[in-house]
Chains A and B, each alone.
Chain A
């Protein structure tokens, strides 16, 4: 390379003062101007810490011990300050809502300029120019509550671009976005890269989604070390992803099931470039060989919703004539874009809000007159953020809370809590404080605290949000087990993998109406539904198309069946 790197780590290690072990070990990494880099790694691999080093949050906001050198544009990073670094590296954080500091779009974009004492007229000029680049110029006076997730993210991007930074750092840009918005986000990043030729660094574990557009290199991190630095084609054909627990693109998984030897010369990092000559044949015969399981006999409906209507203000209908039923022991997902009415539906089912008209039946009993507390004994609700549910310091007390509030005698509480903790794999932690648990374990505690009330149905809001593949699998397997024990599970989700892999049936909501109530494989292969629900086609759909398989829905369904079979065989 002739060019000088814009970012250079030399034998760099970092240890937070609050941690016993270093989080980063011996990092050596050069990033050159104009490159587009993806950094992947499971949770706790140090990839976010690496990002914090680049944007200066380390060591200026998070203190710790640094060994080795980090140079940013030839300056030693530790000798600068966070403000100087922010002029070189612009950071877009993962929660586009949390980082929205202004009361309007215009104000938020202007934030960095205001802090630089740029005169007001000049600020307006720059904000106008940058907002055109990200397509937000018509919404400058909108408040964050009027914006979609994608629009918020465009705003965040504009907010760092006003600074003429050299490097744009995206910290998990896809974490809170629905699939369609995530796709657009990747396209916007690509667009900005092409227009400005800035150095782009994306930290993300959702590999397939980022690879919607090409990147130059992928850095793989695990246990605080860089374990690979290779081209996308090379990475997806290696076994590395599997080893560290990152999900490989779904079509690659299908190729492997079909016995195709994926090799870098096939350009496998994007479906568009994938060479099909050695693929089509084995894929077709694999598809033909999959046996479709017999339809199971149908169980009675445990929950029936009839013509449900709901509105907060009496004008805009949030739920509009919603009807569906859930069979005993089912595991279903409710999907749809933000604002489609998913969360409101859950609130009405749990009795947090009261419907304007329509009925909800548990078996044949109308549950309208049951209070929130009484309904919770039928339908439990688990919030997305476990920190919003946990109110006790100790695990035992947290799980026992619902029983104590119901005045269940203490001698009865103990065996029930112990049993639930056993089911949730938390028995070893029974005397632990909750603060010592990981995010995934906290999530389990919240599920346990609902399970202890022995509800027949559990509704979970985004159970896997922000989780890497390993933790995602862990949570989903756990839920699957609870489901097998007879608890009916309803999940509100954006995650298409979750839909495909774990819920045979999906209910699609749009503008408060039920748009579809069918199998996940049908939803994810129907372009119209996908468009309306802000989902995106699964890559399996395009793979089938490329391999000349006519019935793509059936191909996707076969893949699901094959995988489920595999999973069940693994367990026994």
Chain B
């Protein structure tokens, strides 16, 4: 049985070829650029860019379908809640008021609010593809190497890699234990009462914890015997050295980041693009 946490798929694209460190830096720069700016023109441009990159990295829609659905649900909820909790926030920011329609009570939909909320949706819409690209095109162990590269202690970085290595094993253990306990009469369906379900969960979790502890002792012995933790630093088998592509990618991201800041400082004179004055 093959279970994978997120399916890093090994194909050769310019994006896959970038080192994990580059991708991490680019991801952070682009995210920050988008999060900083509330200029819908700039954000739409970045969004188009993010979709192009998604294309280049040959990620199939079927791979990310579930993720997209969750994101969509989140965005819609977020949109509604923002309006419910602060319907006047747009007016506050832009300092003008253009009523479009009266909803009920104090809830008036204004053009300003609409612009503010639309901008926000697009902000998420352009950052999330970058996140997906980063997750799906980065070899997890290379990512660990990259984390170590930016100063994260290697024991912490390795824990990331190790979690990915053993997560499927523990998932499989969980499934096996759960099935065996159901055979003994454990009710897992929603029919059971909440308290009973909690008690029943323990019947699976207790053996899972004990067998996982057993596993951990074994792994830590295996790692000790091969010298893990001996020196203050370590090297990485899957570390990629920086190539021309990496420098180009970082330059592009830096450029986007700079544009975001410059537009705010010189053109909009604030983080918000204000078409109302």
Interface residues in A, total, Cβ within 8 A: 69
CB neighbours (8 Å) of A146 from chain B are: 2
- What is the minimal beta-carbon distance from B235 to any residue of chain A, in angstroms? 5
**CB interface residues, B 192-242, toward A, < 8 Å:** 202-204, 206-208, 210-211, 214-215, 218-231, 233-239, 241
- The 7 tightest CB contacts between A and B, nearest first, are A405-B185, A110-B237, A99-B222, A376-B183, A115-B227, A352-B179, A402-B184
Cα A112 to Cα B230 in complex, Å, equals 10
Stretch at the interface among B61-69, B159-167, B267-275: B159-167
Decide yes or no whether A91 CB sits under 8 A from chain B. yes
CB neighbours (8 Å) of A390 from chain B are: 206-207, 210
Known: A61-B224, A95-B218. A391 touches B141 (CB 8 A): no
Task: For A111, give its contact among B176, B185, B228, B231 (CB under 8 Å).
Answer: B228
Decide yes or no whether B187 CB sits under 8 A from chain A. yes
Decide yes or no whether A380 CB sits under 8 A from chain B. yes
**CB interface residues, A 97-130, toward B, < 8 Å:** 97-104, 106-107, 110-120, 123-124, 127
CB neighbours (8 Å) of A112 from chain B are: 226-227
Decide yes or no whether B88 CB sits under 8 A from chain A. no
Decide yes or no whether A159 CB sits under 8 A from chain B. yes
20 other A-B residue contacts (CB within 8 Å) besides A115-B234, A120-B235: A61-B224, A82-B225, A83-B227, A98-B218, A103-B164, A107-B237, A111-B223, A115-B226, A115-B228, A115-B229, A116-B234, A118-B235, A119-B235, A120-B236, A120-B237, A123-B235, A352-B182, A375-B183, A380-B183, A406-B185
Q: Let me know if B210 and A389 touch, CB within 8 A.
A: no
Q: Let me know if B185 and A373 touch, CB within 8 A.
A: yes
Contact with B along A437-454 (1 / 0, CB 8 A): 000000000000110010
CB neighbours (8 Å) of A77 from chain B are: none
CB neighbours (8 Å) of A103 from chain B are: 139-141, 161, 164-165
Decide yes or no whether B180 CB sits under 8 A from chain A. yes
- What is the minimal beta-carbon distance from A352 to any residue of chain B, in angstroms? 4
Decide yes or no whether B277 CB sits under 8 A from chain A. no
Cβ-closest chain A residue relative to B226:
A112
| Residues of A that sit less than 8 Å from B by CB | 55-57, 60-61, 82-83, 86-87, 91, 93, 95, 97-104, 106-107, 110-120, 123-124, 127, 141, 144-146, 159-160, 163, 312, 347, 350-352, 372-373, 375-376, 380-381, 383, 385, 387-392, 401-402, 405-406, 449-450, 453
A-B contact pairs, 15 of them (CB 8 A): A61-B224, A86-B225, A98-B215, A117-B234, A145-B1, A160-B226, A352-B179, A375-B183, A376-B185, A388-B176, A388-B177, A388-B211, A389-B177, A405-B185, A449-B184
Cα A55 to Cα B225 in complex, Å, equals 7
Q: Let me know if B185 and A389 touch, CB within 8 A.
A: no
**CB interface residues, B 74-90, toward A, < 8 Å:** none
Q: Let me know if B226 and A86 touch, CB within 8 A.
A: yes
Q: Let me know if B237 and A124 touch, CB within 8 A.
A: yes
CB neighbours (8 Å) of A375 from chain B are: 183
Known: A106-B237, A111-B228. A99 touches B218 (CB 8 A): yes
**CB interface residues, B 150-196, toward A, < 8 Å:** 161-162, 164-165, 168-169, 173, 176-177, 179-187
CB neighbours (8 Å) of A102 from chain B are: 141, 165, 237
CB neighbours (8 Å) of A87 from chain B are: 227
Decide yes or no whether B103 CB sits under 8 A from chain A. no
Q: Let me know if B219 and A101 touch, CB within 8 A.
A: yes
CB neighbours (8 Å) of B161 from chain A are: 103
Cβ-closest chain A residue relative to B169:
A97
Decide yes or no whether B10 CB sits under 8 A from chain A. yes
Known: A86-B225, A116-B227, A117-B231. A389 touches B141 (CB 8 A): no
CB neighbours (8 Å) of A406 from chain B are: 185
Known: A350-B183, A388-B207, A389-B207. A91 touches B164 (CB 8 A): no
CB neighbours (8 Å) of A387 from chain B are: 207, 210-211, 214
* Among A56, A60, A99, A351, residue most surrounded by chain B Cβ atoms (within 10 Å): A99
Cβ-closest chain B residue relative to A118:
B235
Q: Let me know if A60 and B224 touch, CB within 8 A.
A: yes
Q: Let me know if B239 and A401 touch, CB within 8 A.
A: no
Cα A372 to Cα B179 in complex, Å, equals 8
CB neighbours (8 Å) of A101 from chain B are: 162, 165, 219, 222-223, 226
Q: Let me know if B219 and A98 touch, CB within 8 A.
A: yes
CB neighbours (8 Å) of A120 from chain B are: 235-237, 239, 241
Task: For B183, give its contact among A115, A141, A372, A391 (CB under 8 Å).
Answer: A372
CB neighbours (8 Å) of A312 from chain B are: 1
- What is the minimal beta-carbon distance from A513 to any residue of chain B, in angstroms? 19
CB neighbours (8 Å) of B215 from chain A are: 98
Cβ-closest chain B residue relative to A312:
B1
Q: Let me know if A401 and B203 touch, CB within 8 A.
A: yes
Cβ-closest chain B residue relative to A313:
B2
Q: Let me know if A405 and B225 touch, CB within 8 A.
A: no
Q: Let me know if A141 and B10 touch, CB within 8 A.
A: yes
Q: Let me know if B180 and A389 touch, CB within 8 A.
A: yes
